[in-house]
Amino acid sequence: MPPRTRRSDALSRDRIVEAAVELLDTAGEAGLTFRTLTERLATGAGAIYWHVANKGELLDAATDGVIAAALAAGSPGSPREEIRAVALGLFDAIERHPWLGTQLALQLARTPWGSVTARIFEGIGRQVRALGVPAGHLFTTTSALVSYIFGAAGQNAANTAGVPAGADRAEFLDAVSTAWEELDPDEYPFTRAVAAEVRGHDDREQFLAGLDLVLAGITAVHLSRAK
């Protein structure tokens, strides 16, 4: 048998959070228990409780860790480029971790003073201020961006989860498009008109296009006020 990992290494808080994220990704929130966590880490529950008091704290720590990694996806560039990079990092994180959207919504509403909310607003708000948005409008503008990012990313994750297991995405979208095209033309003229655009669309490109619309609006409003 290979030598056992030293207890101090195996039971660091970071390792516990990493294992929790792995369990959440594969089994969802219901599958994350201290029993499953002790089995994965090959240790006793008491040792884990030394680092994490309860499941709520564990979920908070897992969310914070994933968000911290996602926000690090930004790259040096203009404020607009930085916002796009951060937003796409968050979009990809929510898509990769199906549990994340729910936890973000809970933490933003339940503990807005927590580290997750602060990380998000700091990561995006700095760039909003760098765009030239004046004081007095920073919170509202940053909130609008955060709402778009999580709303669109969460809806995309829900759409992805809604595709039947084993189904081909292109075939699924084609079925949606066909159903829209067959709607009553008098009652649904717009939906029928855009039905063809559903086929083969790229979710990430659509997300970024929407983000660009929001950023264009922010720039237009605040640059016009500055003149």
Per-domain residue ranges of the chain: 76-226
Per-residue pLDDT tens for 108-147? 888 888 889 999 999 999 999 999 999 999 999 999 999 9
pLDDT, the chain, mean: 88
Section 63-80 average pLDDT: 85
Asked whether the predicted pLDDT for residue 93 surpasses 90, the reply is yes
pLDDT of res. 75? 67
pLDDT of res. 146? 94
Alpha helices (runs of H) in 72-137, residue ranges in sequence order: 79-96, 100-110, 115-130
* CATH architecture type of domain 76-226: Orthogonal Bundle (1.10)
pLDDT of res. 7? 45
pLDDT of res. 16? 93
Section 153-159 average pLDDT: 86
Q: Which two tokens stand for residue 162?
A: 């809604």
125-133: list long-range contacts, CB under 8 Å, 24+ apart: 127/79, 127/80, 127/82, 127/83, 127/86, 128/79, 128/83, 128/218, 130/79, 130/82, 131/79, 131/80, 131/83, 131/215, 131/218, 131/219, 131/222, 132/219, 132/222, 132/223, 132/226, 133/218, 133/222
| DSSP category for residue 2 | P
Section 150-168 average pLDDT: 81
Q: Tally the C-alpha atoms within 13 A of residue 81's C-alpha that lie toward its C-beta.
A: 4
pLDDT of res. 224? 63
- 3-state SS assignment for residue 154: helix
Whole-model pTM?
0.83
